[in-house]
Amino acid sequence: MDGAMSMSQDTFEPGPETQRAFRDALGRFATGVTIVTTQTADGPIAITANSFASLSLDPPLVLWSPAKASSRFSYFAEADHFAIHVLGTDQAQLCGEVARDGRRFRPGDLTENDKGVPLIGSALAHFECAREAVHDGGDHVIVVGRVERVRMRDGDPLLFLQGRYGAFRALG
């Protein structure tokens, strides 16, 4: 083998019988970790998401994709305003807590913007959004938000890879 490493590779067609393998393949892509918040009649609610992406600079648009099977789905698919918070490595515990309980907040965790959207002040960045569009995306929807305000701070991002949280380490 002319110096190349031999790597095991699996090839398959995605479908019901290969759903776990498809999920594992998607898990090879490291993503940032976010918490999305919105206001409800019963108070603030949050959901964790790693499906966040920038969409457009002009106009300023971002997107994220909540799962239709989530018990919190309707709050976010129907929200007129929401905030997407990019988490730092120091927020892995908060991420895990919100994943288990979308109403898990201690006094002082949140402030609200002028539209009543809950904000996590300690996030690396947050994007305060107005819903621009919602599109069907299979077992998820794609929520497009028009960014109205941004706040950011220095810090290391929390990453998600193969079902685990981690941190970025620069090469070289």
Where along the chain do its domains lie?
Answer: 31-160
Element (H, E) at 66: none
For the beta carbon of residue 104, count every other beta carbon within 10 angstroms. 13
pLDDT digits (tens, 9 = 90+) for 12-27: 888 888 888 888 887 7
Amino acid symbol at 158: L
Residue with the two structure tokens 């799962």: 67
pLDDT at 107: 75
pLDDT at 140 over 60: yes
Q: Which of 166, 48, 169 is nearest to 102 (CA)?
A: 48
Q: Residue 150: what pLDDT? A: 96
CA-to-CA distance for 78 and 130, rounded, in angstroms?
11
DSSP one-letter string for 120-137: ETTSSEEEEEEEEEEEEE
Predicted local distance difference test score (pLDDT) of residue 5: 59
Q: Does domain 31-160 have CATH number 3.40.50.720?
A: no
> What is the average pLDDT across 123-142?
96
**Which of residues 7 and 66 earns the better pLDDT score?**
66
pLDDT digits (tens, 9 = 90+) for 149-171: 999 999 999 998 888 888 877 77
Residues written for the chain: 172
Per DSSP, the three-state class of 80 is: coil
Judged against a pLDDT cut of 80, whether residue 6 lies above it is answered with: no
The answer to whether residues 88 and 156 touch, using CB atoms and an 8 Å cutoff, is yes
How far, in Å, CA of 115 to CA of 22, rounded?
Answer: 39
